Structure 1
Amino acid sequence: MRPLTGDDFADYAAMLADPQVTDGLAETVGNSAEEAWRSLAIFIGHREIRGYSHWALVEKSTGEFVGRAGPWQPHGFPGLGIGWCLARGHWGKGYATEAAHASLNYVRKELDVPKVISIVLPDNSRSIAVAERIGHRHLRDIQYRGRTVHLYGQRLVDTAAP
């Protein structure tokens, strides 16, 4: 995991050009190069504004761009979130879960928040499985940008302690 940069654009655009990838995202993203550019710029800008953002996921053995994952809280988002998006050729390898765990550990150690969330489309069984593997539980369904999404999450601090 490393910061996303403009050098990731070609691989990032190729990932988002796949409708099977973008159809699974709760954030509406088009498949064009222009939409990929905007999306990448938003994540890079988010890091400038908030101090954290999604990282580029790179396969250790090959150096190949795998996708993106990390903490995320743009304006209007329902809380500090962890998200992930992988190129389809890397689905089923455990990278999303590994990146989500690393993101959760980062949030626990570096950000002072009591809870973390993820929003997942109801029919995205792969992302639901990742959310559950990192300890999230389904909290409720919410409306987000005109869509019904599952809100998953977990507490990071024990509020029952004295």
Structure 2
Amino acid sequence: MIHILEIMSILETERLILRPLAGTDFDDYAAMLADPEVVDGLAEPVGTSPDDAWRSLATFIGHREIRGFSHWAVVERSTGRFAGRAGPWRPHGFPGLGVGWCLAREHWGKGYATEAARAAVAYCFSDLDVDEVISVIVPGNARSIAVAERIGHRHLRDTEYRGKTVHIYGQQRG
């Protein structure tokens, strides 16, 4: 069951707290993005240095200021540990309102990406009142394709985004 709390844009799921990303997340965020295997699966180009992580984190926080929504920090309810980021996303030039996710490798395989993405899709349909939600996935990222399919997305098309071909998965309000 998903509980959406209006206070400070925090969402809670069975095992996760999705709260706004903050500057205090930088060390955990940089550690997550220092892993080349994590970065290789991202549709948004980002490097693995602390400077790259800083710019990426600032982009998500800035997106929230501009659009009113962005990825949240994914935090384990049981431990309070930062596990990654997930949420709605639509930067300039993006092919639709997207839901994305990125988890530190030690949190892969726990179902957190699916749990966070489901909450984000529900948020998009209820709070952002959209009719379609997409996810942009790099070809070959089998883990993200599996998450997309588990949350009800289906492959819609392929397109060019930032100089590379990507898969667009998505679903309609239903």
1:28 paired with 2:45, answer yes
Give SS of 1:152's match. strand
Give runs of ≥4 in structure 1 deviating > 6 Å.
none
Where do 5+ consecutive residues of structure 1 fail to align?
Answer: 158-162
CA distance in structure 2 between the partners assigned to 1:4 and 1:133 by the alignment: 25
Query: Which secondary structure does the structure 1 equivalent of 2:91 belong to?
Result: coil
Shift of 1:156: 1.2
1:4-153 correspondence to structure 2 within 5 Å: 4-153=21-170
Which residue of structure 1 aligns with residue 172 of structure 2?
155
Say whether residues 1:2 and 2:19 are aligned partners: yes
What is the deviation of 1:112?
Answer: 2.1
1:121-162 Cα offsets, whole Å, 9 max, x none, are 1100000000001110001111110111100011115xxxxx
Q: Deviations over 1:76-108 (max 9, x none)?
A: 000000000000000000000000000011011
Q: Give CA deviations for 1:30-55 in whole Å, capped at 9, x if unaligned.
A: 00100100000000011111110000
Q: How many residue pairs are counted as aligned between the two chains?
A: 157
The RMSD of aligned alpha carbons is 0.7
Corresponding residue number in structure 1 for 2:13: none
Q: What is the TM-score normalised by the length of structure 2? A: 0.89
Shift of 1:61: 1.1
TM-score (norm 1): 0.95
Q: Report what 1:160 is aligned to.
A: none
Aligned partners of 1:90, 1:147: CA distance in 2, in Å? 27
Distance, in Å, in 2 between the alignment partners of 1:3 and 1:121 is 25
